[in-house]
Structure 1
């Protein structure tokens, strides 16, 4: 009896050990993350291979729902609200499914149920968003399914999925305006009084780059009120005025920027290296 008990315990411990082991998978896990604006967007997925199979219309049938990968359904995680193909997607975690409706039209689905393996338990009523896209022929075939980000700009990016001979692109836009304002308020609260003008100027410079003109003008005005002797502040001011279609005031601020810059350079027995660039802006505004 004792021998039977020992044998049973040994067998059980071996079984538990095997169950706890992680073994290589035919479709290995992968993830890719991209910051868009102030938002991190992450894709977690598994990478099946082509393996000499016909993928589209065969392994992945047309007009049937597919988990957009292998193993657990592909996950899309966004830490803030974004737009997918100009449609709103609230912050959160989603399972991504694809319906290849035809060779020319696919439906991409963002579903709120995030613990699905395959599409067997998929429920349409849990969909958060559906968008239609057109697949394109890839420039080169992709053996293993791959998600990646391209065309990354300050507040937008393209999420691409490549597998076999096809590619699908999703346009993603972020709107960080509200978070930018919160960050600026936090930076002001943490800054010494003598440094607050720099916070306002940095905020205005960002606003200029993303054409948040109204907010930018408000911030740069506060910056020059706190410090009226910085040439770069007036250059930023001039650019924002030009965005606001006020060429006359833009030219005046740019000329002030040059004057202050040249005076600062003279004190250091040097030349003002930005004069030509700012003068080019002035000439352009005069011709508009």
Structure 2
């Protein structure tokens, strides 16, 4: 009898293990990874859906702290210090909470990111940043709560939040310029390569910095490349010359880039160079 009981228990245990049913989560987990300038930003959150419910002012009440999603609190992680609403947030992880209102949201970045939802006891000393974000109506319904990284630049991004028929955005600024300039200074004080000169020149062009310095660096890069210079490098050289007011030099570099792009069969660069040459009165 005892042996039979043991056998039955073993069979029951085996059935229990094998009988586990996997079903979809009603608010599935999502993880976004975004490079903003030189900063890695990771967002982790759960995504509830409307399911014929009225969301704001009902499921999510106005004037009440919300976990910004479902399940565990929404978490954002930065690889460098960032700036939000004039506040510096150190590299690390933060919970994000919001208090929705009819015309705006109060969005909070909270240093304790380990809460299951909203904190049981709110600690104001853990508020790293608080931002009032304007609400924008959307022309379509967003069935599932969605967070995005929008309006990306080398120095910032907008953390977007959409659900039902509204969009809210919070700007995040990253220290790209400071980091790049430090890197450029360090490299230029050492033994820079042709690629270093080219990268520094392009950064100065695109960020509106000292164009004469950019011209000097791009010339050095082109000289070091010799007969291996690429059409895209010549293209940037032409744009730097144009911005520096050297139209003749810009045209000469653009013609070289055009010829090299035609030889390489790159239609995009052929068109860009042709458009610039027409703009500069050379075609």
Give the TM-score normalised by the residue count of structure 1.
0.71
Q: Measure, in 1, the Cα distance between the counterparts of 2:114 and 2:15.
A: 26
Which residue is equivalent to 2:241? 238
Q: Residues 128 and 238 of structure 1: is their aligned pair in 2 closer, same or farther, counting only changes over 3 Å? A: same
Q: How does 1:185-264 map to 2 (within 5 A)?
A: 196-211=193-208, 213-214=209-210, 217-218=212-213, 220-225=215-220, 227=223, 235-239=238-242, 241=244, 250-251=245-246, 254-259=247-252
How far 1:232 moved relative to its partner?
A: 5.4
Q: Say yes or no: does 1:93 pair with 2:93.
A: yes
Which residue is equivalent to 2:105? 106
Q: Residues 89 and 263 of structure 1: is their aligned pair in 2 closer, same or farther, counting only changes over 3 Å? A: closer
Q: How does 1:30-179 map to 2 (within 5 A)?
A: 30-85=30-85, 87-100=87-100, 102-121=101-120, 122-179=122-179
The range that moved more, 68-77 or 82-91, is 82-91
Query: What SS does structure 2 have at the residue aligned with 1:201?
Result: helix
How far 1:35 moved relative to its partner?
A: 2.0
Q: Residues 208 and 99 of structure 1: is their aligned pair in 2 closer, same or farther, counting only changes over 3 Å? A: same
How far 1:281 moved relative to its partner?
A: 5.6
Query: What SS does structure 1 have at the residue aligned with 2:148?
Result: strand
Give the TM-score normalised by the residue count of structure 2.
0.72
CA contact (8 A) 1:204 1:236 kept: no
Q: Residues 178 and 265 of structure 1: is their aligned pair in 2 closer, same or farther, counting only changes over 3 Å? A: closer
Q: Measure, in 2, the Cα distance between the counterparts of 1:162 and 1:265.
A: 44
How far 1:160 moved relative to its partner?
A: 1.6
Q: Which runs of 5+ in 1 are unaligned?
A: 242-249, 284-288
Aligned residues: 263
RMSD: 4.2
Q: Residues 57 and 276 of structure 1: is their aligned pair in 2 closer, same or farther, counting only changes over 3 Å? A: closer
Q: Which runs of 5+ in 2 are unaligned?
A: 264-269
